[in-house]
């Protein structure tokens, strides 16, 4: 369950090399200043050439079918440098939703375009200040969508929207091209500089995608994939902070020699190791199509959220005054952390769900 | 691994599983598949009187196959199983809810280091007795002045030509009053610290050995003060080199931390899951525990518990793949202590005033046990290396943070 294949090791190596060279945190700063879309389309094309957009797509539709463990490794590496791109929403959420729930025609139409990097997909799920898929109100009547979606990740750059909506009382997914009539997309400037969108639907034509069971399947995939990205963020935030503890001196001592800091660093290490196990277990549960995916998804997302929250706070604190400056990286990690913590359900949401799944 | 065998094919493993399942079916008495009370644990030893004949029968059956120490070499009475075969055996034992045939510091801590550091004669003499549960061992580590700073130990061991002479005192010696033999850290050179420690074995019935149980806040007395006055020990009982005991001591601590974390903790509360206890004492509304704050904290605890279990499995897989996972022992110790304390506290909280009894008729047996388990669990972050010492180990050895200059 936890041992990587040689193929996966190679994928991780190449992802790490690419991200470290082309998308270090300096890249995020450059995007923040110069790219209103929140990512760089030239690098997105390179990611597609590397095959990342096709990791979850079957070979007959132009993908490599390397599975969720493979996808998770790439997302984790992207998380390390906060590399901004619509990879999660397109290659994981979009591709898996269509591959799992799509008709033959839908797969033929959309999957090759996703694999080729020609199509950006976004999942429109939340309608209020909080993630609450069970309370979705957006309605489909006579094949037409009406209502509002909030804070849709990558919604401002998407070509195709997957919209969760209620039809006859049951929540299902629907496909809506972003440029369809009756769709109004308002870009949001967000804390993490990646952007998102509020989207209004007024009688937009909606094409059903899969049945009601697809909703949770897709959400759990989104949660697990995001947890993998968050694991990368937290790991790097921790390692950067450890390095700082080994170089910064005060009172004539390396600050990492102070026991007050050593113990907090050791506790973060323990949290990271536990979180890593949860994320890997959840990714492999997806590949093995096990029956405990929902429980592991909530476990992974909640643990990743709590760990990233802790580590991002400690990153600022242990860097001292430097950590408060815009020129240093801790602020970038802190900002992305808060966004990722909230997307697809906070730790609090997933604790509640975990309890419900365990009947208490 | 143990007998130099290579990885097995999946057919071989499947055959092993079938054979194991059939053998357990035939040899594990029904009573040994029922939940175990705290005083049902079998520790073996010279003075052991089985509560039920099935306990002895089950121990003897398992020992005859070496399955009380499944991965030890057959030459020393072990099962000679590969790690994969052992996983299958443990799987099958869990499947029929078998009680442990034998609880043993010999198996968990002493045996593994003797396999590594002992000479052939010592291994031949001591290991088979451990496998069969004939000799119960205790651990002579902590002293009144050497707790977290274990290497500060002072128990003196002098070379008297044809024997060693031991004088001093140990403390927190688990079950010393019931043990047959002790593996003991002693000072053989007073001019240096770590390099003056040796690892030695002796019979607890030797003249000059005295044990006094210590009563804990939980009411139980699992630990002793142990006194040595002119105890004569044969020279062949030294393990490893004279003054070379610290390396052995540390390796043993690693095994101890791992075994404690793997569920050997004192204070582990009853078999019912916390949420079931809470449902009973707190009540349920709309399918959810009525106290929503407690519900959230129980969920958080269960998730931590699950994350811990997954991490143990990950470490096992990594070890199997040949990765070094020694750094994980301290991590498991820290996490397991936190978890067990959290769990026993949540149970007390969920039971409300039903968990505030000490003895007598006003409370059920489970209600009496709950606060005692909570109290006992406070020791989890002290015994086997305090949480603070383990965090030091992680910071220095794993994270590479330096000492204060």
Residues A77 and A139 in one domain: no
Boundary-marking domain end, from A115, A143, A177: A115
Residues A56 and A141 in one domain: no
How far apart CA B336 and CA A339 sit, in angstroms, is 31
Overall average pLDDT of the B265-280 stretch? 72
pLDDT of B2 strictly over 60: no
Residues A218 and A351 in one domain: yes
List, for residues B215-259, the tens digit of each pLDDT value.
Answer: 999 998 889 999 999 999 999 999 999 999 999 999 998 888 777
Test mutation, A9, A248, A270, A318, chain B, max B CBs within 10 A: A270
CA distance B123 to chain A (A): 34
Residues B387 and B293 in one domain: yes
Query: Quick one: what percent of chain A has pLDDT higher than 90?
Result: 99
pLDDT of B285 strictly over 70: yes
pLDDT of B268 strictly over 80: no
How far apart CA B220 and CA B38 sit, in angstroms, is 12
Pairing of strands B181-187, B163-174: unpaired
Question: For the whole model, what pTM was predicted?
Answer: 0.87
Whose tokens are 């699950």? That residue is: B306
pLDDT of A41 strictly over 80: yes
A270 contact residues in B (CB cutoff 8 A): 331, 334-335, 394
Q: Range with the lowest mean pLDDT among A312-321, B199-208, B371-380?
A: B371-380
What are all long-range contacts of A137-142, with beta carbons under 8 Å and residues at least 24 apart? A137/A166, A138/A163, A138/A164, A138/A165, A138/A166, A138/A201, A139/A165, A139/A166, A139/A167, A140/A165, A140/A166, A140/A167, A140/A172, A140/A174, A140/A206, A141/A167
In a domain, B4, yes or no: no
Q: For chain B, say whether A291 makes contact (Cβ under 8 Å).
A: no
List, for residues A135-147, the tens digit of each pLDDT value.
Answer: 999 999 999 999 9
Q: What is the CATH number of the domain that holds B299?
A: 1.20.140.10
Residues B160 and B199 in one domain: yes
In a domain, A272, yes or no: yes
Residues A221 and A203 in one domain: no
> Who among A3, A259, A270 is closest to B334 (CB)?
A270
pLDDT of B38 strictly over 90: no
In a domain, B122, yes or no: no
Query: What are the start-end ranges of the H helices in A135-258?
Result: 213-245
Residues B394 and B273 in one domain: yes
Q: What is the CATH number of the domain that holds A238?
A: 1.20.140.10
Residues B276 and B215 in one domain: no
pLDDT of B125 strictly over 80: yes
Q: Could you tell me which residues come within 8 angstroms of residue B19 by beta carbon, excluding any fewer than 6 positions away?
A: none
Residues A264 and A286 in one domain: yes
pLDDT of B4 strictly over 60: no
Q: Are B59 and B102 contacting, i.e. CB atoms less than 8 angstroms apart? A: yes
Exposure string for A286-317, b = 16+ CB within 10 A, e = fewer: beeeeeebbbbbbbbbbbbbbbbbbbbbbbbe
pLDDT of B161 strictly over 60: yes
Active site residue B256: yes
Q: What is the CATH number of the domain that holds A167?
A: 2.40.110.10
Overall average pLDDT of the A28-37 stretch? 96
Boundary-marking domain end, from B103, B128, B148: B103
In a domain, A62, yes or no: yes
Contact A352 B299 (CB under 8 A): yes
> Who among B314, B399, B403 is closest to A277 (CB)?
B314
How far apart CA B149 and CA B403 sit, in angstroms, is 16
Structural domain count, chain B:
3
Test mutation, A273, A314, A357, chain B, max B CBs within 10 A: A273
Residues B72 and B192 in one domain: no
In a domain, B117, yes or no: no
Residues B329 and B383 in one domain: yes
Q: What is the complex's ipTM, to 2 decimals? A: 0.94
In a domain, B41, yes or no: yes
Residues A242 and A303 in one domain: yes
Exposure string for B80-114, b = 16+ CB within 10 A, e = fewer: bbbbbbbbbbeebbeeeebbbbbbbbbbbbbbbbb
Query: What are the start-end ranges of the H helices in B260-322?
Result: 274-282, 292-320
State the pLDDT confidence band at B261, using cuts at 50, 70 and 90. low
Question: What are residue A172's DSSP bridge partners?
Answer: A165
State the pLDDT confidence band at B7, using cuts at 50, 70 and 90. low
Residues B191 and B299 in one domain: no
In a domain, B300, yes or no: yes
Residues B269 and B240 in one domain: no
**How deeply is B340 buried, as exposed, middle or buried, from its count of CB atoms within 10 A (0-12, 13-18, 19+)?**
buried
Residue of B nearest to A270 (CA): B331
Distances in Å between the alpha carbon of B80 and those of A167, B66, B85? Answer: 62, 8, 9
How far apart CA B310 and CA B273 sit, in angstroms, is 18
Backbone angles phi and psi of A235, in degrees to 5: -60, -45
CA distance B256 to chain A (A): 19
Contact A355 B298 (CB under 8 A): yes
List, for residues B333-347, the tens digit of each pLDDT value.
Answer: 999 999 999 999 999
Pairing of strands B197-203, B163-174: unpaired
Q: Range with the lowest mean pLDDT among A198-202, A236-240, B37-41?
A: B37-41
Position B267 scores a pLDDT of: 41
Q: What is the CATH number of the domain that holds B22?
A: 1.10.540
Residues A288 and A189 in one domain: no
Residues B88 and B178 in one domain: no
In a domain, A273, yes or no: yes
Nearest Cα to A126, choosing from A92, A99, A153?
A: A153
State the pLDDT confidence band at B321, using cuts at 50, 70 and 90. confident
Position B327 scores a pLDDT of: 80
List, for residues B128-157, the tens digit of each pLDDT value.
Answer: 999 999 999 999 999 999 988 999 999 999
CA-based Rg of chain A, rounded to a whole angstrom?
20
> Who among B275, B310, B404 is closest to A257 (CB)?
B404
Residues B386 and B281 in one domain: yes
In a domain, A1, yes or no: no
Residues B273 and B347 in one domain: yes
Residues A125 and A260 in one domain: no
Residues B392 and B284 in one domain: yes
Residues A291 and A223 in one domain: yes
Q: For chain B, say whether A319 makes contact (Cβ under 8 Å).
A: no
In a domain, B5, yes or no: no
Q: For chain B, say whether A259 makes contact (Cβ under 8 Å).
A: yes
Q: Could you tell me which residues come within 8 angstroms of residue A251 by beta carbon, excluding any fewer than 6 positions away?
A: none
pLDDT of B119 strictly over 60: yes
CA torsion angle for B46, B50, B54, B56 (degrees, to 10)? Answer: 0
pLDDT of B265 strictly over 60: no
In a domain, B302, yes or no: yes
Structural domain count, chain A:
3
Residue of A nearest to B274 (CA): A360
Residues A248 and A306 in one domain: yes
Boundary-marking domain end, from A163, A187, A211: A211
Residue A27: give the domain boundaries.
6-115
Position B5 scores a pLDDT of: 54
Contact A246 B402 (CB under 8 A): yes
Boundary-marking domain end, from A75, A93, A115: A115
In a domain, B2, yes or no: no
Residue B84: give the domain boundaries.
10-103
Residues A225 and A353 in one domain: yes
pLDDT of A208 strictly over 80: yes
pLDDT of B262 strictly over 80: no
Residues A220 and A330 in one domain: yes
């Amino acid at each position: 369950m936890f041992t990587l294949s040689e193929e996966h090791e190679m994928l991780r190596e190449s992802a790490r090399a690419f991200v470290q060279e082309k998308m270090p945190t300096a890249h995020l700063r450059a995007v923040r200043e110069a790219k209103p879309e929140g990512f760089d389309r030239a690098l997105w094309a390179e990611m597609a050439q590397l095959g990342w957009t096709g990791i979850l797509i079957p070979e007959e539709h132009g993908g490599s079918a390397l599975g969720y463990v493979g996808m998770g490794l790439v997302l984790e590496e992207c998380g390390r440098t906060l590399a901004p791109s619509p990879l999660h929403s397109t290659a994981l959420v979009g591709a898996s939703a269509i591959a799992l729930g799509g008709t033959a025609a839908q797969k033929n139409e959309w999957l090759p375009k996703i694999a080729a990097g020609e199509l950006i997909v976004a999942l429109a799920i939340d309608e209020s200040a909080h993630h609450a898929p069970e309370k979705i109100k957006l309605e489909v009547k006579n094949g037409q969508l009406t209502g509002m979606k909030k804070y849709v990740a990558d919604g401002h750059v998407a070509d195709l929207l997957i919209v969760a909506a209620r039809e006859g009382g049951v929540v299902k997914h629907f496909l809506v091209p972003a440029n369809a009539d009756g769709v109004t997309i308002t870009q949001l400037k967000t804390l993490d500089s990646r952007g998102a969108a509020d989207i209004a639907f007024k009688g937009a034509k909606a094409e059903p995608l899969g049945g009601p069971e697809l909703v949770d399947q897709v959400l759990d995939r989104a949660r697990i994939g995001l947890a993998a990205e968050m694991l990368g963020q937290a790991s790097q935030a921790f390692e950067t902070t450890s390095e700082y503890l080994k170089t910064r001196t005060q009172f004539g001592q390396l600050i990492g020699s102070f026991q007050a800091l050593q113990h907090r660093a050791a506790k973060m290490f323990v949290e990271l190791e536990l979180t890593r196990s949860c994320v890997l277990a959840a990714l492999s549960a997806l590949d093995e199509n096990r029956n405990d995916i929902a429980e592991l998804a909530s476990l992974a997302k909640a643990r990743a959220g709590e760990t990233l929250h802790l580590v991002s706070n400690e990153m600022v604190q242990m860097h001292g005054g430097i950590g408060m400056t815009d020129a240093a990286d801790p602020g970038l990690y802190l900002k992305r952390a808060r966004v990722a913590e909230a997307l697809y359900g906070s730790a609090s949401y997933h604790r509640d769900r975990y309890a419900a799944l365990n009947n208490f | 691994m143990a007998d130099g065998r290579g990885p097995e094919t999946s057919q071989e493993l499947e055959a092993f599983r079938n054979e194991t399942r059939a053998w357990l079916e035939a040899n594990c008495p029904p009573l040994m598949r029922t939940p175990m009370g705290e005083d049902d644990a079998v520790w073996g030893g010279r003075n052991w009187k089985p509560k039920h004949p099935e306990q002895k029968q089950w121990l003897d059956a398992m020992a005859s196959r070496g399955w009380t120490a499944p991965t030890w070499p057959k030459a020393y009475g072990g099962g000679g199983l590969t790690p994969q075969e052992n996983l299958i055996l443990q799987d099958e034992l869990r499947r029929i809810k078998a009680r442990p045939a034998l609880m043993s510091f010999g198996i968990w801590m002493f045996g593994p280091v003797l396999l590594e550091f002992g000479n052939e004669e010592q291994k031949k003499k001591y290991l088979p007795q451990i496998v069969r549960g004939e000799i119960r061992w205790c651990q002579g580590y902590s002293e009144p002045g050497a707790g977290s700073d274990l290497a500060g130990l002072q128990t003196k061991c002098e070379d008297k030509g044809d024997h060693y002479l031991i004088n001093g005192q140990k403390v927190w010696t688990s079950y010393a009053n019931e043990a047959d033999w002790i593996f003991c850290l002693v000072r053989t050179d007073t001019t240096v610290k770590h390099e003056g420690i040796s690892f030695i074995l002796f019979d607890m019935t030797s003249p000059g050995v005295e044990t006094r149980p210590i009563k804990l806040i939980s009411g139980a007395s699992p630990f002793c003060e142990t006194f040595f006055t002119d105890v004569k020990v044969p020279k062949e009982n030294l393990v490893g080199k004279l003054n070379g005991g610290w390396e052995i001591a540390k390796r043993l601590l690693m095994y101890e931390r791992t075994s404690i974390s793997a569920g050997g903790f004192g204070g582990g509360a009853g078999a019912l899951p916390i949420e079931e206890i809470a449902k009973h004492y707190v009540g349920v509304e709309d399918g959810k525990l009525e106290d929503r704050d407690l519900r959230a904290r129980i969920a958080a605890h269960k998730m931590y518990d699950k994350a811990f279990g997954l991490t143990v499995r990950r470490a096992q897989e990594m070890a199997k793949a040949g990765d070094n996972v020694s750094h994980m022992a301290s991590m498991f110790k820290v996490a397991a202590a936190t978890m067990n304390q959290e769990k026993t506290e949540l149970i007390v909280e969920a039971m409300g005033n039903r968990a505030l009894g000490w003895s007598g008729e006003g409370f059920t047996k489970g209600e009496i046990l709950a606060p005692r388990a909570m109290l006992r669990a406070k020791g989890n972050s002290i015994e086997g290396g305090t949480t603070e010492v383990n965090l030091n180990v992680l910071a220095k050895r794993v994270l590479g943070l330096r000492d204060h200059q």
